[in-house]
Amino acid sequence: MILGIAQINVKVGDIKGNTKKIVDYIKKAKDSYVDVLLFPEQTIPGYPVQDLMFISGFVEQNLQALDFIRQQSRGITVIVGFIDKHEIHEGKCYNAAAIITDTRIVRIIHKQLLPTYDVFNEARYFTSGNPSEPVDIMDIKTGVIICEDLWDKDYDTKVVSAIVNKGARLILSINASPYYKEKIAIRERVALDKIAETCVPIVYVNMIGGQDEITFDGSSFVMNGDGTLVFRAPAFREGLFKIILPTTCQIPAGAIAPALQPEEELFKALVLNLKDYFEKMGAFKKVVIGLSGGVDSSFTTVVAARAIGPENVICLYLPTRFNSDKSYECAKKICENLGVEFFVFPIEQIFAQFEKDFAAAIPKNAFTVADENVQARIRGIILMYYSNKFNHLLVSTGNKSEIAVGFCTLYGDTCGGKNVPGDLFKTEIYKICKNYINKDEEIIPKFVLERPPSPELRENQKTEDSLPPYSVLDKILEPMIEMQKSIDDVVAMGFDMQLVKRIQNLVKIAEFKRGQLVQTIKVTPKTFGIGRRMPIVNGFDYSAKF
């Protein structure tokens, strides 16, 4: 038989648009002699729909869409993800897959394992399904499972071996599995472990596309019952992919998209997510960026130019007396290299007026960090002015290191509808600039990558005057944030106790800022945002034993 993998990009809530795409793919698949067409998890409503699910009529519309898709499935078997309702309990729903053969729903499968960690919140929305039986698909006894059902290692219910024990000779796994670095290899490893237990081949279908802070990378794959990888779809690319499946279930070797270099993979994830945010919101004409000539905003500009085209990006350079000529030249050069519009909007006079009025209101007013913040906030006002006036999407440029320790100005450089590099530590941004963006030509001037970082908010300021070098800071933040280590754990890795305590305290007191930040793009296992839910009022002493 011919299996079709529909690695598609759907939009949360857009039941009509998603259904249209599903029906188009069914037609395309039939034209290509596909016998069984697989769509990702939650194809019809998109993933994750979050509290949209509770809006009256939402689940019903998704069921009506399923019925429409059923009618369009003449002469083909289609497996499609949707939200199913509990037979009796009005309020309960399942994360479900419908198996439709020739306009007849032959089976509905309910997801058994509901991830409720990090960005996942399925226990809020779904009830666990009961164990399912294999279903005959063109005479092959097949286990159809949904996403987490494959990741059964830490659960008491072992979904895969249970269905194999009931006779399944093939596993079809439909997924909405978000990207982070190394995730592609992790997924293939999980599948391999299940094959080691069961010796049954796995067809793994994943979504692609950006949805708020998460990105689905696709990277669908097929492994034979002996664990050989026989197919891998490209990452970050929508498409219909065909697999030959003999009745023996010994799948012949096919195309295997090569793994990307880490820097390219991260860059492409950001590009796809930003592109999808821009397009799916459907509200914007262009992207506007405050470009300082530093590495973060330079990097963000490159991502934006790639995502929506350089002709749709406008950069504002917003200098005061503290900005060096060299910063101006670098910012200008990047825009020239990319073909992006560059506009200079000096903020010196506005800043001077603020300082004058503050001096009148506050006796003996010395220059402090509050005055630094004013400059960042004036920039925020001007960038938001362009955003409001011209329907441009303002993209913010803060990185994970600075967001972690609060070295960003709330309502200043954090303004915007989308942040691009907020899940990358500063040292990682340098790496992507050097090893990927500037690999073949110097798009970002070398000087930007070599100068000591500075916010240029006072005379001769250097970030590393207030913070340890990023090479040290990032090595402390990584275990602290991504592995949730205590102060003692981090100190045991070889860092100074006082320094670690200071960093931990900066992370803690910046929580109220992060509570108000714009969404970023998840590329690591632990991203600031919906997957990390910290109290703001927090009396925990991270260091001490009781």
Question: Which of 1, 28, 58, 141 forms a contact with its own copies (CB under 8 A)?
Answer: 58
Closest CA to 277 of 426, 117, 406, 396: 396
Say whether 412 sits in a helix, a strand or coil: coil
Spatial separation of the C-alpha atoms in residues 394 and 271, rounded to whole Å: 15
Q: CA–CA separation, 109 vs 97, rounded Å? A: 5
Token pair belonging to 97: 């897959």
* Interface residue with its own copies, options 264, 489, 495, 505 (CB under 8 A): 489
Residues forming beta bridges with residue 222, ordered by sequence position: 203, 231
The identity of residue 425, as a single letter, is F
Find the part of the chain contacting its own copies (CB under 8 A) among 71-79, 191-199, 376-384, 422-430.
376-384
In one letter, which amino acid is 453?
P
- Nearest approach, Cβ of residue 239 and its own copies (Å): 21
- Residue 256 DSSP label: B
Q: What is the DSSP string of 288-351?
A: EEE--SSHHHHHHHHHHHHHH-GGGEEEEE---TTS-HHHHHHHHHHHHHHT-EEEE---HHHH
- Using CB under 8 A as the binding rule, whether residue 415 contacts its own copies is answered as yes
Cβ closest to its own copies, residue 325 vs residue 546: 546
Measured from the CB atom, the residue of 61 and 438 that comes closer to its own copies is 61
Judged by CB under 8 A, which of 180, 241, 277, 407 binds its own copies? 277
Q: Does 213 qualify as catalytic in the annotation?
A: no
State the Cα–Cα distance between residues 446 and 450, nearest whole angstrom. 6
What's 56's DSSP letter?
Answer: T
Q: Which one among 3, 15, 135, 289 touches its own copies, defined by CB under 8 A?
A: 15
Q: Which of residues 108-137 bind its own copies (CB under 8 A)?
A: 116-117, 121, 123-124
DSSP string, 294-308: SHHHHHHHHHHHHHH
Q: Is 59 left (phi over 0), alpha (psi -120 to 50) or beta?
A: alpha
Binding flag, residue 497, its own copies (CB under 8 A): no
Cβ atoms within 10 Å of 337's Cβ, excluding its own: 18
Concerning whether 264 is annotated as a catalytic residue, the answer is no
User: What's the rounded Cα separation, in Å, for the pair 530 and 526?
Assistant: 10
Establish if 506 lies at the interface with its own copies (CB under 8 A): no
Of 5, 6, 12, 190, the residue at the interface with its own copies (CB under 8 A) is 12
**With binding defined as CB under 8 A, does residue 95 bind its own copies?**
no
- Supply the minimum distance, in Å, between the C-beta of residue 432 and its own copies: 25
400 is catalytic: no
Binding segment toward its own copies, per CB under 8 A, in 95-103, 176-184, 366-374, 448-456: 366-374
Residues in contact with its own copies, shown as a per-residue x/- string from 194 to 213 under the rule CB under 8 A: ----------------xxx-
Spatial distance between the Cα atoms of 525 and 481, rounded to a whole number of angstroms: 10
Q: With binding defined as CB under 8 A, does residue 495 bind its own copies?
A: no
> Of the listed pieces 135-143, 383-391, 422-430, 493-501, which binds its own copies according to CB under 8 A?
383-391
- Pairing assessment for the beta strands 313-317 and 104-110 based on DSSP bridges: unpaired
- From residue 59 to residue 78, what is the string marking binding to its own copies with x (rule CB under 8 A)? --xx-xx--x----------
Site mask for its own copies (CB under 8 A), range 329-348, x = bound: --------------x-xxx-
Helix, strand, or coil (residue 30) = helix
Out of 103, 228, 427, 486, the residue judged to bind its own copies by CB under 8 A: 486
Q: What is the DSSP string of 484-510?
A: ---HHHHHHTT--HHHHHHHHHHHHHT
- Report how many residues bind its own copies under the rule CB under 8 A: 98
Query: Among the options 147, 315, 335, 433, which is catalytic?
Result: 147
Instruction: Give me the catalytic one of 11, 21, 111, 485.
Output: 111
Window 299 to 328, contacts with its own copies (CB under 8 A): none
Q: How far apart are CA 130 and CA 111, in angstroms?
A: 8
Kindly tell me which residue out of 26, 93, 410, 420 binds its own copies, with binding defined by CB under 8 A: 410
**Beta sheet of 341-344, edge-to-edge order:** 341-344, 313-317, 286-290, 392-396, 418-419
Alpha-carbon Rg for the chain, nearest whole angstrom, is 26
Q: If you count them, how many residues does the chain have?
A: 546
Touching its own copies, residues 513-542 (CB under 8 A): 515-519, 530, 532-542
**In this chain, which of 88, 196, 258, 283 binds its own copies, going by CB under 8 A?**
283
Q: Which is nearer to its own copies, 211 or 300 (CB)?
A: 211
Is the CB of 248 or the CB of 533 nearer to its own copies? 533
Q: Bridge-partner residues for 161, per DSSP?
A: none
Show which residues are catalytic. 41, 111, 147
